[in-house]
A = this chain, B = another copy of it.
Amino acid sequence: MKARRSATTRTAPAPRATINDVATAAGVSRQTVTRAMNEMPGINPATKARVLAAAKRLRYRPSRFGRGLVKPEPRTLGLVVDDLTNPYYPELASAVIGEAAKQSWNVIVAEKVHATDRRTLLLEVAGQVDAVLGYLNDSDGLDQLGDLPCIQFDSPPGSTVGGVELDFAPAMAELVDHLLDRGVRHPVLLDISPPGSLSGRGQCFVDLMREHGFDPPVTQVIDNSMAAGAAGCAEILQDHPEADAIMAFNDIAACGTLKTLRRAGIDVPGQIKVAGFDGLGLGTYLSPELTTLALDVQGVAAAAVGLALGMAAGEIPRSGPKARRRVSYRLVVRESS
């Protein structure tokens, strides 16, 4: 029974007990400790009890590193989001965590908003996981990932990693029909500004409206905050007093829009109809509840986790057509339209 490590020097942070410590304390071999800890057969109940008692006394916890080294089963996913404070991301995160949990995988969640350097963030996360998911782009340092499986949300066609593509066109067509059916004649688009051009969804809205003989004016805002949405709506009221529908580029902006309309005493949907994009739960908290194009978040999560786990298992290539999936939006009509 020799002292473990250097005889407890001073106030060192008390090193964790190892399997050897337990074995020594219980007067058995390491192997017997393993058998006792892991509910394995072929061990004398009395011995087992003695070992477990020793383990408890020494506060023994098996090291995940030692174990991981011997049974290298991938079990941890990294999810990178912008900011959990933006209601979109928690819904995605929840769905991803749920899908991962089904396969007993854990999820490390990282937020870009807390990182000083996005490349470093991704690198640090990558070092702790068996696959990465997220709204990632080249500027996040995708190149540093090496062979680590990676799934990009809203993935552009030529991506070098796996991805989930988001298909909103059919749902947008439904929405346009819906608005026109309800008598809309002066639709306006509230878009986010890549100055000079439109967002993909915005362009789609405009194109569809044009097919029906309307040419919606566009107001653009700087960022995706609710305040920006509110300001954008105020601008619309001023520039386009004839407006009878506002299509917002996402639910948050639509939320700001509703706020401005309420303050202006404008009835929704009576005078102006409002539609959002994303399908956040937030939309049901509002009053009137928000009509929106809802992403199938569950579907996105299932696709992404499926791809990631498949890649980690070596069953799906890291990139190329087999590394891609497509998920749709659907029209959810609520009170605001």
- Any B CB within 8 A of the CB of A241: no
- Pick from B84, B113, B262: contact of A287, CB below 8 A: B262
CA of A108 to CA of B107, assembled, Å: 5
- A13-B313, A94-B83, A127-B64 given; A110·B106 CB < 8 A: yes
Binary flags per residue of A84-100, CB closer than 8 Å to B gives 1, else 0: 11010111011001100
Binary flags per residue of A65-104, CB closer than 8 Å to B gives 1, else 0: 1111100100110000001110101110110011001101
Task: Indicate if the CB atoms of B75 and A65 lie closer than 8 Å.
Answer: no
- Any B CB within 8 A of the CB of A263: yes
Contacts of A97 in B (CB 8 A): 84, 109-111, 114
Interface size grouping (class) on chain A: 35 or more
- A61-B147, A128-B75 given; A226·B109 CB < 8 A: no
Shortest A117–chain B CB gap in Å is 11
Task: Indicate if the CB atoms of A147 and B106 lie closer than 8 Å.
Answer: no
- Any B CB within 8 A of the CB of A158: no
CA of A64 to CA of B75, assembled, Å: 12
Contacts of A125 in B (CB 8 A): 106
Shortest A5–chain B CB gap in Å is 13
Shortest A109–chain B CB gap in Å is 5
Task: Indicate if the CB atoms of B14 and A314 lie closer than 8 Å.
Answer: yes
Binds B, one of A20-28, A134-142, A277-285, A324-332: A277-285
Contacts of A101 in B (CB 8 A): 110-111, 114-115
Shortest A118–chain B CB gap in Å is 12
- A93-B84, A97-B84, A111-B94 given; A226·B258 CB < 8 A: no
Contacts of A113 in B (CB 8 A): 94, 98
- Pick from B14, B93, B98, B128: contact of A106, CB below 8 A: B128
- Pick from B14, B68, B114, B284: contact of A65, CB below 8 A: B68
Task: Indicate if the CB atoms of A84 and B90 lie closer than 8 Å.
Answer: yes
Contacts of A146 in B (CB 8 A): 56, 59-61
Which residue on B lies nearest to A75, using beta carbons?
A: B128
- Any B CB within 8 A of the CB of A223: no
- Which 10 A-B residue pairings sit nearest by Cβ, starting from the closest? A13-B314, A59-B147, A65-B68, A90-B90, A84-B94, A98-B114, A84-B90, A65-B69, A101-B114, A259-B287
Chain A residues within CB distance 8 Å of chain B: 13-14, 16, 56, 59-69, 72, 75-76, 83-85, 87, 89-91, 93-94, 97-98, 101-102, 104, 106-111, 113-115, 124-125, 127-128, 146-148, 226, 252, 255, 258-259, 262-263, 281-282, 284-287, 313-315
Q: Jot down 18 A-B pairs with beta carbons below 8 A, ordered by A.
A: A13-B314, A16-B72, A59-B146, A65-B69, A75-B128, A83-B94, A84-B84, A85-B91, A85-B94, A87-B87, A93-B109, A97-B111, A97-B114, A98-B113, A106-B110, A106-B128, A107-B109, A263-B287
